[in-house]
Chain A
C-alpha cells in the first residue's frame, strides 16, 4: 500500500500513535498539527511513579509514540497547520493553511536565549520533549511584534539567526486517500467558577500542575515559586454538571489527581494534601491497593468546596462542608488544584462542518458504536475528540481507527 496517503489531523498521542501504526505498514502519512509542538496535552504530563514504581498513567507512552513518529521516514509532519476545507472525488483534497513557524527548525539549536531575553511573560513557549524541535516557539497572542511590531529582541539576539518574525502564512493542498480526525480535547476553563482561577495566582488547573511537575519535578506556588505547605485538589470542575450541560464524568481526573497527590507527598513529605471529591473513580488494574494507600497518605473529603478567597499574602481560603459533619470549615491552603474536565475541542464546529460529521449531544465526535471511529466514507476519529479517555485508551482507539483505515484503503 505504498501508494496510499493518509491525512491525520492532530498531533497528540492518538494522532502520533496512528501515524506510527500506518507508517510501519508502509503507508504514507501526513500529520497536520495546529500548534508548534507535537504531543498534544499529554506530552506535558509528568511521570507520576511513586516509590520507584510505575503507576501506569501512560505519560511516557506519549514520549515513545512521539519519538517513533518524528523518526519514521513514512511520516511527514506539518506544524502550525489547520485544515480549512476538504473535498472529495475519489481522493480527499484538503486545503491547509500553515501559520508561519517563526523559528526555523533546521537552524535552531535549542539554546534558549530567545526565552531568556524575551521581555514578555509567556510570549515564548517551551516544548516538553526533546522531540519537540525546535524546543521553543513564539506565542503570537502575546508577542509584541505581532501586536505592534515594537519588539524584535529574539530575532536580533538569536545566535543562529533562526528567527524570522516576518515569515508569512502559506496555503497548500494535501491529497489523501483517508482522513483521521484526532484533534483532541479542550480542558474546561474554570474562570467562571468561584475559585478565582485567573485572578488568584495560586489557583491552577490539574494540567498546569502536570506541567509544573514535569518541568521542575515538584509542586510550587506560582506566587513565589516556593513549595506549598497545604495543597487542595478539587475534583469534577466542569464535569458532572447539568448547569453547563456537561453531564459526563471526565473519567481520568480522579486517577490523575490522586497520582499527583501521592507524588507531591513523596517528593515533598512536609506538604499536606486534601482531596475534595464526589465519587472516586477507578483507574488502572490494581486500584484497590493504591486507593488504600492514598487514603492513609492524604485527607479525603467527600464534598466539593464552593468558594475560594485570597488572603493578603496570596494564600487561599477555601470554604467547604466538613463531610460527614454538617458545619462548614474555612481552611487556608497555599495551592489549589482544579481538576478540570475534558470538554470538546474548540474546532469541533469547523470539523463537523467540513466533514459533515455530527457531534453527539455533548459535542464530541462519536460514531454509532460509541467508541468506534466515525467512518463516514474514509473519515475516521481517534482519541479524545471522541470523548474523555485515558492515554492508553487513546492509543487503543488509534489502533482501532488504523484497522478501519486499512480495510477502507483496501477496497
Chain B
C-alpha cells in the first residue's frame, strides 16, 4: 500500500499485468463519468475512475489490499454511462476475487460459506424456514380480502419460482407480506422452495465466481425438480 507522500517508481510497474483482462480498462479517457455517476464515490476514498487507472497501471496489489474497492455496490451505473464501455463492476469483482477469503471484509464470505454449506446465509434449518413462512402466511390470511391465503412452497408445475432474501425470514418478516399480497391479487401461480431458497448470492460481491455458479446451479436444479420455467430472482 502506498502512502500519499510515497513516490512510486513506474519502472517497477508492469502495465501489461491487466492487459489480458477483458474489461477494456485501458481505453479509459479519464472522462470521469463513472465517478460522477457512482453513488459511493468518495466514501472511504472509493473512486471508480481511480480504480480503472490503477488496474491500467498494474497496481494490482494496491487494489487488492485496499479497503475501498469493497465499497462498490455493484449497481452498474458506471458501466452504463462509460463512453468506452469499460466493464467496471466486473473489474471490481476481479480485484475482489484476488483477496484471500479470510481477508474478505465483514460477514460477506462467512455468509457465503454458510450458504454453500446449508443453502442459506443464516444457516437457518429447513423446518424453521417453513415454520416462519407458514406463520406469516397465517397472519396474511387473517386480513380481509386474503382469506385462505397460503404461501406455496415446493409447488410443482408453478408458473414462477422465486428466491427469498434471508432478511425476509430474519429481521424483516413483515416485508414478505407486501409481495405476497401482490401475487395474490394478480392470481399469480408461484412458489418458493424449502431448500436452497437463498436469493442473495454474496459470491457476486466477493468476486467468487465458483460460489456463484454453485448457488445458481442449485436454484436451477430446484426449477428442474419442480418443473417451473420462470425464475424470479430479485437481487
The answer to whether A and B touch directly, with their CB atoms under 8 angstroms apart, is yes
- A-side interface residues toward B, CB under 8 Å? 194, 236, 240-244, 278, 302-307, 319-321, 323, 325-328
- The one of B36, B43, B82, B84 in contact with A321, judged by C-beta atoms closer than 8 angstroms, is B36
- The one of B45, B77, B84 in contact with A306, judged by C-beta atoms closer than 8 angstroms, is B77
Asked if A328 and B83 sit within 8 Å, CB to CB, the answer is: no
Asked if A326 and B45 sit within 8 Å, CB to CB, the answer is: yes
Asked if B31 and A243 sit within 8 Å, CB to CB, the answer is: no
Asked if A303 and B31 sit within 8 Å, CB to CB, the answer is: yes
Interface string of B51-68 (1 = CB under 8 A from A): 000000000000000000
- The one of B32, B43, B82 in contact with A243, judged by C-beta atoms closer than 8 angstroms, is B82
Contact (A240, B29) CB under 8 Å given A321-B47, A321-B49, A327-B41: yes
A sample of 10 more A-B contacts (CB under 8 A), given A242-B83, A278-B31, A320-B32, is A302-B30, A303-B32, A303-B35, A304-B32, A306-B33, A321-B49, A323-B32, A326-B47, A327-B42, A328-B41
30 contacts between A and B (CB under 8 A): A240-B31, A240-B83, A242-B83, A242-B84, A243-B82, A243-B83, A243-B84, A243-B85, A244-B83, A278-B30, A278-B31, A278-B32, A303-B35, A304-B31, A304-B33, A306-B77, A306-B81, A307-B36, A319-B37, A320-B32, A320-B36, A321-B32, A321-B38, A321-B49, A326-B41, A326-B42, A326-B50, A327-B41, A327-B43, A328-B38
Chain A, residue nearest B44 (CB) = A326
Q: Which of B14-39 contact A (CB under 8 A)?
A: 27, 29-38
Asked if A306 and B42 sit within 8 Å, CB to CB, the answer is: no
Q: A339 CA to B14 CA in the complex, in Å? A: 38
Lowest 4 CB-CB distances: which A-B pairs, in order? Answer: A327-B42, A303-B32, A306-B37, A321-B35
Chain A, residue nearest B68 (CB) = A326
User: Secondary structure of the A side of the interface?
Assistant: loop
B46 on interface, CB distance cutoff 8 Å? yes
Q: A194 CA to B43 CA in the complex, in Å? A: 23
In the assembled complex, how far is the CB of residue B166 from the closest CB belonging to chain A, in whole angstroms? 31
Q: A306 CA to B32 CA in the complex, in Å? A: 8
Contact (A326, B35) CB under 8 Å given A241-B83, A243-B83, A321-B47: yes
Q: A197 CA to B47 CA in the complex, in Å? A: 27
Q: Which residues of B contact A306 (CB under 8 A)?
A: 33-34, 36-37, 77, 81
Contact (A326, B36) CB under 8 Å given A240-B29, A240-B83: no
- B-side interface residues toward A, CB under 8 Å? 27, 29-38, 41-43, 45-47, 49-50, 77, 81-85
Q: Which residues of A contact B42 (CB under 8 A)?
A: 321, 325-328
Asked if B36 and A328 sit within 8 Å, CB to CB, the answer is: yes
Q: Which residues of A contact B84 (CB under 8 A)?
A: 242-243
Chain A, residue nearest B27 (CB) = A242
Q: Which residues of B contact A242 (CB under 8 A)?
A: 27, 83-85
Chain A, residue nearest B30 (CB) = A278
Chain A, residue nearest B77 (CB) = A306
Chain B, residue nearest A193 (CB) = B81
Q: Which residues of B contact A236 (CB under 8 A)?
A: 31, 83
Q: A236 CA to B84 CA in the complex, in Å? A: 13
Chain A, residue nearest B37 (CB) = A306
Q: A302 CA to B31 CA in the complex, in Å? A: 7
Q: Which residues of B contact A305 (CB under 8 A)?
A: 33, 36
Q: A338 CA to B39 CA in the complex, in Å? A: 23
Asked if A278 and B29 sit within 8 Å, CB to CB, the answer is: yes
In the assembled complex, how far is the CB of residue B77 from the closest CB belonging to chain A, in whole angstroms? 7
Q: A326 CA to B48 CA in the complex, in Å? A: 9
Q: Which residues of B contact A278 (CB under 8 A)?
A: 29-32
Q: A303 CA to B31 CA in the complex, in Å? A: 5
Chain B, residue nearest A327 (CB) = B42
Q: Which residues of A contact B82 (CB under 8 A)?
A: 243
Among B42, B49, B77, B82, residue most surrounded by chain A Cβ atoms (within 10 Å): B42
Q: Which residues of A contact B31 (CB under 8 A)?
A: 236, 240, 278, 303-304
Q: Which residues of B contact A321 (CB under 8 A)?
A: 32, 35-36, 38, 41-42, 47, 49
Q: Which residues of A contact B33 (CB under 8 A)?
A: 303-306
Q: A320 CA to B31 CA in the complex, in Å? A: 11
Q: A36 CA to B47 CA in the complex, in Å? A: 50
Q: A327 CA to B71 CA in the complex, in Å? A: 13
Q: Which residues of A contact B45 (CB under 8 A)?
A: 326
Asked if A328 and B35 sit within 8 Å, CB to CB, the answer is: yes
Asked if A319 and B36 sit within 8 Å, CB to CB, the answer is: yes
Among A236, A302, A325, A328, residue most surrounded by chain B Cβ atoms (within 10 Å): A328
Q: A303 CA to B78 CA in the complex, in Å? A: 13
Q: Which residues of A contact B85 (CB under 8 A)?
A: 242-243
Q: A243 CA to B87 CA in the complex, in Å? A: 12
Chain A, residue nearest B35 (CB) = A321
Q: Which residues of A contact B36 (CB under 8 A)?
A: 303-307, 319-321, 328
Chain B, residue nearest A278 (CB) = B31
Q: Which residues of A contact B32 (CB under 8 A)?
A: 278, 302-304, 320-321, 323
Chain A, residue nearest B43 (CB) = A327
